[in-house]
Structure 1
Amino acid sequence: MKAIGQTLAAFKTDRFIRNIGWMGASELVIRVFRLVTTVILARFLSPEDYGLAAIVLMTYEFIRVFTRNGIADKIVQAEEGDVEELCRTAYGLNWLIALVLFTIQCLASLAIAKFYNNSHLILPICLIAITYLIYPLAMVQTALIRRENRLNILALISSVQVSTDNVLTAILALSGMGMWAIVLPKLLVAPIWIILTFKYHSWRMTKSFTLDKWQKITSFASRILGVELLTIFRENVDYLLIGRFVGVQALGVYYFAFNAGLGISLSIINAIRVSLFSDLCNLNHQPEIFIQRYLQSIRKIAFIIVPFVILQSSLAPFYVPLVFGHKWVEKGAVSILIVICCSALSRPFADAASLMFRAFGQPQIELRWNILFTVCLASAIGVGTHWGILGAAVAVTVTHLTLQPLYTIWATRQKLTQLLQEINP
C-alpha cells in the first residue's frame, strides 16, 4: 500500500508540475504581449488617461467580483454524483447574477462620475458592463474544465484572449484613443472565451433549470464570495483613496507603477493558485499525500517567487527609463514600483494556506482571515496617503509582509496538525 501511495503521489506531482507549466507558459505569452502594450501605453498615454482608465477598471473589478462567487469552486470541489444537477443550477444562477450586475454597474456609473466630478466616466463604465451578459454562456464549462484538471485548455484560452486584448490595446493607443485603448478591448475580446470554451467542452444546458441544489451551492459559495469581495476591495482600496485624496494624476503614476511592477508577479501567483486549488481538491481524501503535496508546493513557491521579486526590484532603476521612458522616472514611479514589488513576497504563501482550507470545504476560516487583513490594510493605506503615493505603497507592502507570514504559519500548523491526527489517531 505504501508503494502504491508513493506511486500515486509521484503521478500527481507530475500532473501538478504539468499544470504549473501550462499556466506558466500561458502567463509568459501574455506577459510578452502585455510588455509591448505597456511600453506603448507608457509613451502614448498621459497620467490623466491612466488615472481615468484606473477608475473605470476599478469600478468594473469591484462589481465583477460577484461573478467570482464560489459557484465554479463548488463545481470543482463537489462529489461526482452531484455535478450535473449543480451545473444546471449554476447555469441559471449565473444568468440571474449577470443581469443584476449589468444593471448595478450602469447605475453606479452615475455615482462614480459625481464622486470624481468627471462625466466622461459614465459611458465607458456602462459599456464594459456588457461583458456580464456574455460570460455566463461558458462559466459552467470553465468550471468543469478546472474540475477535470485540464488546465492546458484554460491556459490556451486565456493566452489567446488576453494576448488579443493587448494587441487591440496597443493598436488603439497608437491611434490616439487615450483611456479607451485600455477599456474598449475588454468588451471586444469577451466572445473569444465563449467560442474556445464551447470548442473544448461539450456540456450544454439541454435540460430545464433547477434549484434543487441551490443550498449546497450557496452555503459554500457565500463564504467564497465574501472572500472575493474583500480581496477585490483590498486590490482597489489604494486606487480609491489615492484618486480621492491625492489626485487623478498621482493615481495615474501609482497605477502605472503597480501594473509595470507587481502585475508580472501577480500573473505568476495566479498561475500557481489556479493549479494548486484543482490539485488540492483531488487530494482532500488522502491526508498523507495532501500534506506532502502542500509542503512541496510551499517550497516551490519560495523557489519561484523570492528570486524573481528580488531580481525585478533591483533592476527597476535600469529597465523603467529604458523600456517605458524617462517621464515615469521624473514622476517618481521607480521608487513606487520597487516598494510595491516587495509585497509579492508573502502573497502566494497566504494564498496557498487559504486554498488548503477551501479544498476541505472550510471557506469560513479563509473569510475570517480576510476580514481581519482587509481592515488592517485599509487602515494602513488611509494613514499612508498622508505622505502621498509613496506612503500608500509603503503601507501596502509593510502590511503584507507583516500579517501574511503570520497567517501562513498559523494556518499551516492548524490544518496539518489536524491531518496528522487523522493519520495517526
Structure 2
Amino acid sequence: MESNKQKVAGGLFWSYGERIMAQLVSLVVSVVLARLLDPENYGVISIVMIFITFCDAIVSGGFGNAIVQKKDADELDVNTMLCCSVATSFFLYVIIFFAAPAIADFYDMDIIRPILRVLGLRLLISGVNSIQRAWIQKRMLFRRFFVSTSFGTVISAVVGISMAYRGMGAWSLVAQYLTNSFIDTMVLLITNDWKPRLQFSWRRAKSMLSYGWKVLLTTVVYTIEGDLRSLIIGKQFGSADLAYYDQGKKFPNLLVTNINTSISNVIFPVLSKSQDDLNRMRTICRRSIRTSTYLLAPLLIGLIAVANEFVQVILSEKWLPCVPYLQILTLVFLVRPLTTTCQQAIMSTGRSDITLKIMITVNVTDVVLLLVAVFAMKSVLMIAVGALLTEIVSLGLFMKYVKKCIGYSYKEQVLDIGPSLLVAVSMGIIVYCVGLLELKTFFLLIAQIVIGAIYYILVSYILHFEPFEYILKMVVEKFRK
C-alpha cells in the first residue's frame, strides 16, 4: 500500500510540475501574443482549431486509453494501437486537406485554407504522441512528461513570439502549435525505452478496441459539445466575438486543463490497477477530488473576483469585452475537474458504456441550450450561460453513477468538495472588496492576489485542512530526496 501511495504522490508531483511549468510559459506567451495580435487573428486560429481539435480527439481518444486500461498490456499491444492511431491520423489529415477550401468558403475567409492544411499536420504528430504518452502514463514515469513538455513549451514560445514580432500574424500561432507538438514528440522518442515497431495483431486490436471505441466516441461527443459553440459563434457573430469568447475561456482552461490533466494522468492508471478493489478505488477518487478542489477553487474564484483588473493589466483594454465571458466560463471550469475524476473512476471499472451514455445525454442538453441562446436570445453571453448549465448537468449524472459503480456516496462527495469551496468563496468576496479601493490597476491587482493568497493559506493552516497538509507533506518529502 505504501508503495502505491508513493507512486501516486510521486506521479502527482511530477505531473503537477509539468503542468505548472507549461502553464506559466503558456501564460507568458498568451499575454505577449494577445498584445501583439488583433482579436481577428485569434478568431481565425480559433475557427481552424475547431476542426483540428475535433480530429485530434479522434486520434488521441480511445487508442491510448485502451493501453492504460489493460492490466497486462505489452509491446505488441502498444504497437498495434500505434498502427491504428497513425492510420487514423493520416486518414483524417487527408479529409482536412481536401475539405479546407469548403471550410474557408463557409466562413468567407481565404486565409483559413492554407492555415488549416498546415496546422492539420499536427494530427500526424498526435498519432504517435498519444501512444507514447499512454505507455509512459501506464508505467507512471511522469518525469519524462516534465522534460518533454519543458523543451516543447519553451522552444515553441520562442518561435511563436519571434514570428509575431515580425508581423506574421496568425501564422505565428500556427508555428507555435506545430513546434510544441513536434518537440514534445521527439523528446519522448529519445527518452522513452519503448520504440515504435511495425507490429500488428488483429486479435489484440479487436480485444482492446472493444473498450477503446466507447472511450473514443465519448471523447468525440465531448469535443463536439465544446467546439459546436465556437463553430456557431464564428459563423453567426463573427471572428472578433469568437476571439473574445475564446480569450475568456483561455485562462480558466489553462488553469484547469493543466491540473486536471495531471490528476487524470496519475489517477487513471492507478484506478485501473485497482479495479478489483472498490474500497481502494473510492479512496483514490476521494483523494483526487479533495486535492483538485483545494488547488483550483481559490484560483478560479479569485480569477472571477479580479477579472476586470486582470484583463486590463495582462491583455490590455482592447480585450475588456471578454471579461463577462471569462467570469461565466471560469465557473464552468470550476465544475469540470470533479466531473473528470468521477468519469475516470467509472471508466477504470471497464464501464466505458456508462460514460458514453452520459455524454450523449449531456450533448443533447447542450445542443438544445445552444440553439435557444443563438436563435431565440441571439446572445453570445447566453451561450456561455448554457455551457455552465450543461456542465452542472454533466456533474450531476457522473456523481450519480460513480456512487453506483464504486460506492462513492453523495455525502462523501459533498464533504470532499465543501470545505475548500466555502473558504475559496469567502476569499473571493474579500478579494472583490479589495478591488473597490482607489488604486492604480496594476497595484490593485497585485494587492488582490497577495491578500487572497495569504488569506487562503492562513485559513488552511489554522483549520488544518487535510489537502493542504497532504500537499505540503508531499512537496517536503520530494525536496528532501
Alignment pair present for 1:50 and 2:58: no
User: Secondary structure of 1:341's match?
Assistant: helix
Amino acid at match of 1:415: C
Task: List aligned pairs for 1:113-262, cutoff 5 A.
Answer: 113-206=104-197, 208-262=199-253
Report how far residue 353 of structure 1 moved. 1.2
Report how far residue 418 of structure 1 moved. 9.7
Alignment pair present for 1:414 and 2:404: yes
Residue of 377, 381, 385 corresponding to 1:394: 385
Report how far residue 207 of structure 1 moved. 5.8
Alignment pair present for 1:337 and 2:329: no
What is residue 357 of structure 1 aligned with on the other side?
346
Partners of 1:116 and 1:372 in 2: how far apart?
30
Report how far residue 372 of structure 1 moved. 0.6
Q: Which moved more, 1:301-310 or 1:228-237?
A: 301-310
Contact 1:29 1:163 in 2 (8 A): no
The number of residue pairs the alignment matches comes to 407
Contact 1:113 1:122 in 2 (8 A): yes
Partners of 1:69 and 1:239 in 2: how far apart?
21
User: Secondary structure of 2:275's match?
Assistant: coil
Structure 1 pair 418/381, CA: closer, same or farther in 2 (3 Å)?
Answer: closer
What is residue 423 of structure 1 aligned with on the other side?
none
Amino acid at match of 2:145: L
Q: Which moved more, 1:280-289 or 1:351-360?
A: 280-289
User: Secondary structure of 1:284's match?
Assistant: coil
Partners of 2:125 and 2:389 in 1: how far apart?
39
Runs of at least 5 residues in structure 2 that lack an aligned partner in the other structure: 410-481
Residue of 64, 69, 72 corresponding to 1:77: 69
Contact 1:89 1:212 in 2 (8 A): no
What is residue 270 of structure 2 aligned with on the other side?
279
Report how far residue 176 of structure 1 moved. 1.1
Q: CA RMSD in A?
A: 2.0
Amino acid at match of 1:67: V
Report how far residue 205 of structure 1 moved. 4.1
What is residue 36 of structure 1 aligned with on the other side?
28
User: Secondary structure of 1:277's match?
Assistant: helix
What is residue 323 of structure 1 aligned with on the other side?
314
Residue of 58, 65, 70 corresponding to 1:66: 58
Contact 2:300 2:331 in 1 (8 A): yes
What is residue 302 of structure 1 aligned with on the other side?
293
Residue of 364, 375, 394 corresponding to 1:404: 394
User: Secondary structure of 1:119's match?
Assistant: coil
Report how far residue 288 of structure 1 moved. 2.4
Amino acid at match of 2:402: T
Amino acid at match of 1:357: I
Amino acid at match of 1:197: L
User: Secondary structure of 2:74's match?
Assistant: helix
What is the TM-score of this pair, normalised by structure 1? 0.90
What is residue 11 of structure 1 aligned with on the other side?
3
Residue of 265, 283, 298 corresponding to 1:292: 283
What is the TM-score of this pair, normalised by structure 2? 0.80
User: Secondary structure of 1:134's match?
Assistant: helix
What is residue 5 of structure 1 aligned with on the other side?
none
Amino acid at match of 1:359: S
Residue of 335, 351, 357 corresponding to 1:346: 335
Partners of 1:201 and 1:262 in 2: how far apart?
29
Q: Which moved more, 1:110-119 or 1:384-393?
A: 384-393
Structure 1 pair 52/206, CA: closer, same or farther in 2 (3 Å)?
Answer: closer
User: Secondary structure of 1:38's match?
Assistant: helix
Amino acid at match of 1:198: L
User: Secondary structure of 2:379's match?
Assistant: helix
Report how far residue 164 of structure 1 moved. 2.4
Report how far residue 85 of structure 1 moved. 2.5
What is residue 270 of structure 1 aligned with on the other side?
261
Q: Which moved more, 1:28-37 or 1:366-375?
A: 28-37
Partners of 1:156 and 1:375 in 2: how far apart?
40
Structure 1 pair 353/208, CA: closer, same or farther in 2 (3 Å)?
Answer: closer
Partners of 2:30 and 2:75 in 1: how far apart?
42
Structure 1 pair 119/94, CA: closer, same or farther in 2 (3 Å)?
Answer: same
User: Secondary structure of 2:61's match?
Assistant: coil
Partners of 1:79 and 1:19 in 2: how far apart?
18
Partners of 1:71 and 1:384 in 2: how far apart?
35
Partners of 1:202 and 1:261 in 2: how far apart?
35
Contact 1:261 1:338 in 2 (8 A): no
Alignment pair present for 1:384 and 2:412: no
Question: Deviation string for 1:60-101 (max 9, x for gaps)?
Answer: 111111112311111112132x52321232222222112201
Contact 2:23 2:254 in 1 (8 A): no
Amino acid at match of 2:80: T
Structure 1 pair 369/25, CA: closer, same or farther in 2 (3 Å)?
Answer: same
What is residue 475 of structure 2 aligned with on the other side?
none
What is residue 98 of structure 1 aligned with on the other side?
89
User: Secondary structure of 2:314's match?
Assistant: helix
Q: Which moved more, 1:286-295 or 1:229-238?
A: 286-295
Q: Which moved more, 1:260-269 or 1:337-346?
A: 260-269
Report how far residue 221 of structure 1 moved. 1.2
Runs of at least 5 residues in structure 1 that lack an aligned partner in the other structure: 1-7, 420-425
Report how far residue 144 of structure 1 moved. 1.6
Partners of 1:272 and 1:161 in 2: how far apart?
21
Question: Deviation string for 1:169-208 (max 9, x for gaps)?
Answer: 2222121111111112222333322321122222234564
Question: Deviation string for 1:139-192 (max 9, x for gaps)?
Answer: 443322111111221232123213322332222212111111111222233332
